[in-house]
Amino acid sequence: MTTAPHPSEPDHDVAHPAEAAPPLDGALDRESFGALFRRHPAGVAVVTLLDDGVPVGFTATSVISVSAQPAVLAFSINDTSSSWPAVSRAESVTINLLAADQRQVSTVFATSGVDRFAQADWQQLPTGEPVLRGTSGWISGHVLQRVPAGGSHLVLVAADRAQVFDAEPLVYRNRAYHQLIEYEI
């Protein structure tokens, strides 16, 4: 994998398209792919839902806005996740966007074999979905589609309600949590 220089640095170490040979099978190797995305910062969320009346949740850094009108978002979940069976049946989900001081919440919801909700401050919406307290916001909606992608599924959600709070987001990059600071160039 090649690394591009900072925009202000010369690009003498960058492989140019004519010089870089693509992999023979056309697929990027796992190591290069992982290294690239570890350096790409992402907001941290916890996806929550009810499965036969039982709250289920897991940490996700794969949440994206797909469309503003209509409001559609997506997240991915590995097929081997303990939460996948519940997500595969869910009609609705809530995406809780974690605040900068919720590192422990992220860790708990990323841990298998524990009662995640026993260790979290949460409430139920009038419609029943679990929502975490103390977040920078949440968005809830109905599952539109589950698209298989490699060993995961991309879950598309039609958003129907949301709430935004005045809290800075939790960010994950290079296997560590980070906090945003105000900075102008």
How many helices (H) and strands (E) the chain has is answered by: 3, 12
* Residue in 43, 63, 56, 42 with CA at minimum distance from that of residue 156: 63
62-92 residue pLDDT tens: 999 999 999 999 999 999 999 999 999 999 9
Instruction: Tell me the average pLDDT across 142-151.
Output: 96
Asked if residue 7 belongs to a domain, the reply is no
Asked if residue 151 belongs to a domain, the reply is yes
How would residue 41 be classed by pLDDT, with cut points 50, 70 and 90? confident
Asked if residue 26 belongs to a domain, the reply is no
How would residue 23 be classed by pLDDT, with cut points 50, 70 and 90? low
Is the confidence at residue 38, as pLDDT, over 90? no
Domain count, the chain: 1
User: Percent helix, strand and coil across the chain, each rounded to 5?
Assistant: 15, 40, 45
pLDDT at residue number 139: 97
Percent of the chain's residues with pLDDT above 90: 64
In sequence order, what are the beta bridge partners of 95? Answer: 47, 139
pLDDT at residue number 83: 96
Asked if residue 180 belongs to a domain, the reply is no
Asked if residue 33 belongs to a domain, the reply is no
Asked if residue 1 belongs to a domain, the reply is no
Strands in the chain per DSSP E: 42-43, 45-51, 54-60, 64-67, 72-78, 92-97, 122-124, 130-132, 137-149, 152-164, 170-173, 176-179
pLDDT at residue number 22: 52
Is the confidence at residue 114, as pLDDT, over 50? yes
168-181 residue pLDDT tens: 999 988 887 888 88
Asked if residue 22 belongs to a domain, the reply is no
> What range does the domain containing 60 cover?
41-172
Is the confidence at residue 94, as pLDDT, over 70? yes
99-112 residue pLDDT tens: 999 999 999 999 99
Q: What is the CATH number of the domain that holds 153?
A: 2.30.110.10
Cα 110 from chain centre: 11
* Residue in 73, 52, 55 with CA at minimum distance from that of residue 64: 73
> Is the bond preceding 70 in cis, omega lying within 30 degrees of 0?
yes
Edge-to-edge strand order for the sheet containing 72-78? 54-60, 45-51, 92-97, 137-149, 152-164, 72-78, 64-67
3-state secondary structure of 147: strand
Indicate whether this model's pTM tops 0.85: no
Asked if residue 55 belongs to a domain, the reply is yes
